[in-house]
Structure 1
Amino acid sequence: MLHKIKLEHILFLDIETVPEYQNYEQLPEAKRLLWEEKSFYQRKEEFTAQEFYERAGIWAEFGKIVCISVGFFRFKDGQRHFRITTFKNDEKTLLQEFTNLLNKHFSKPKHLLCAHNGKEFDFPFIARRLLIHDLPLPSKLNLFGKKPWEVAHLDPLELWKFGDYKHFTSLKLLTNVLNIPSPKDDISGKDVCAVYYEEQDLDRIVTYCEKDVLAIAQVILKLRQENLLEDSEVILV
């Protein structure tokens, strides 16, 4: 089935998130109590809520999106190109820009959204932040009432599981075993918060995010047993 999907019908994406506030002390009191309750099942007695706050970016209720990178294939005159662009304004604006892209160019039944672990993280995170900002859900993220086979989401992690639902494979590991150049040659996910708040280097995060998008596309090509993208085929816009 994967081979039957046209590559130009897929929008590859990745998001980078950070805690909504830089420090635990900046949380409003009510939100602080809610964070303590929400995080307890993971931190248990090993960490205080304050110590654990640097991980708040993985929850849509306590984090925010700082960039969304997307990539898509274009075929013309027998040549293949992969175009990558990033939305990186304030969160509400970048969500609006991303939604506009979906509605204008990737809203038809044939279109798919593709992200590594996207079904567990990227897609629900984006949807929740849209609603928090009172923005409408695009059809590709509105799952209410849809049957599983009607959900237009493609997830390399799910493909690699081959039905083994207890198995998790990071993008870094997957690219390694598939002999794909690793996207993790600078920072990793755990560094994003410090790079954003302390270094204030959003461009560094954007580069990291765009490399992940390219890696996701490469994984799909590998799973289809097709040639990987060459540097000359990748266009940053």
Structure 2
Amino acid sequence: MLEKKKLEDILFLDIETVPQHEYWKTLPKETQQLFELKTQYQRKEEFTAEEFYHKAGIWAEFGKIICISVGYFIEKDQEYQLRITSFDNESEYQLLVDFKNLLDTHFNLKKHLLCAHNGKEFDFPYIARRMVIHQIPLPEKLNLFGKKPWEVAHLDTLELWKFGDYKHYTSLSLLTHILGVPSPKQDIDGSEVANVYYKEQDLDRIVRYCENDTIAIAQLLLRFNNLPILKNENIVRV
């Protein structure tokens, strides 16, 4: 699929998000009203806005990023090794600044690409929107203003699997299962992240979950290119 792209030039990533406030009642009245309007189509008449608030983390206007995990390949002893690291500062502003610094200093060349699963619909725009909210200048890889489609340095494993079928959605769990990649969902899933964050206050557990997703995305790209997936000893968390 990507014969002309070097794996070492790709930064794989995944984000975890939660509602900005733990409880509905702590939201300002105007925010509650705007959330009610924003989610009207999704809720229909089945749920009130308050009952639906636990899903607020999926919208950048009402959620926040609590972890960004990234991975990149290096070639060592004629084998690929995947290096994994995470940005998980309690301050979302600082987390985003640290991630921006990584892009600006190490993944700022024309050859560099960002890769995520459903990244074009979720991860990339979510990060960019939260940066704008925090008044953080967008790194070049997230600044799409004025760019033509072929100039956007984004890869999306969901889009690659669609093969042009715009109606087709395949979850990361399903795709790893059918392609023989170890499942990233070994502990929690996305629906549990807010509870683990606010109730259990176990950010480390969320970071491990986010890193596992990032590893799975990198493994998928290997499979798409008919390359062997990595052994555990070739995955290094730094």
What TM-score comes out, normalization by structure 1 length? 0.99
Q: What CA deviation, in whole Å up to 9, does each residue of 1:39-81 have, x standing for no partner?
A: 1110011000000000000000000000000000011342321
Gaps of 5+ in 1: none
Provide Cα deviations, 1:106-148, integer angstroms capped at 9, x if missing partner. 0111000000000000000000000000000000000011000
Aligned equivalents of 2:114, 2:61: Cα separation in 1: 23
Q: Tell me which amino acid in the other structure corresponds to 2:204.
A: D
1:222 is aligned to 2:223: yes
Task: Name the residue aligned to 1:207.
Answer: 208
Q: Identify the residue that residue 190 of structure 2 maps to in structure 1.
A: 189
1:141-180, Cα deviation, whole Å (9 max, x unpaired): 0001100000000000000000000000000000001011
Any idea what SS the aligned residue of 1:140 has? helix
Letter of the 1:130 partner, please give it. M
Taking the aligned partners of 1:26 and 1:113, their CA distance within structure 2 comes to 36
Secondary structure of the structure 1 residue equivalent to 2:204: helix
Q: Where does residue 12 of structure 2 map in the other structure?
A: 12
Superposed, which structure 2 residues align to 1:90-169 within 5 Å?
90-169=91-170
1:228 shift after superposition: 0.3
Q: Which residue of 2 aligns with 1:42?
A: 42
Match of 1:234 in 2: 235
Backbone CA RMSD of aligned residues: 0.7
Does residue 61 in structure 1 map to residue 61 in structure 2?
yes
CA–CA separation in structure 2 for the residues paired with 1:223 and 1:167: 17
**Pairs aligned (count):** 237
The AA in structure 2 aligned to 1:224 is N
Amino acid at match of 2:51: E
Normalising to structure 2: TM-score of the pair?
A: 0.98
Instruction: Classify the secondary structure of the residue corresponding to 1:69.
Output: strand
Cross-structure match for 2:26? 26
- Residue 178 of structure 1 corresponds to 179
Q: Percent identity?
A: 65
- Cα distance in 2 for partners of 1:216, 1:77 equals 23
**Any stretches of 5+ residues in structure 2 without a counterpart?**
none
Deviation at 1:185, TM superposition (A): 1.3
In structure 2, give the amino acid aligned to 1:195. V
C-alpha distance in 2 between matches for 1:79 and 1:149: 30
Which letter maps to 2:191?
K
Letter in structure 2 aligned against 1:7? L
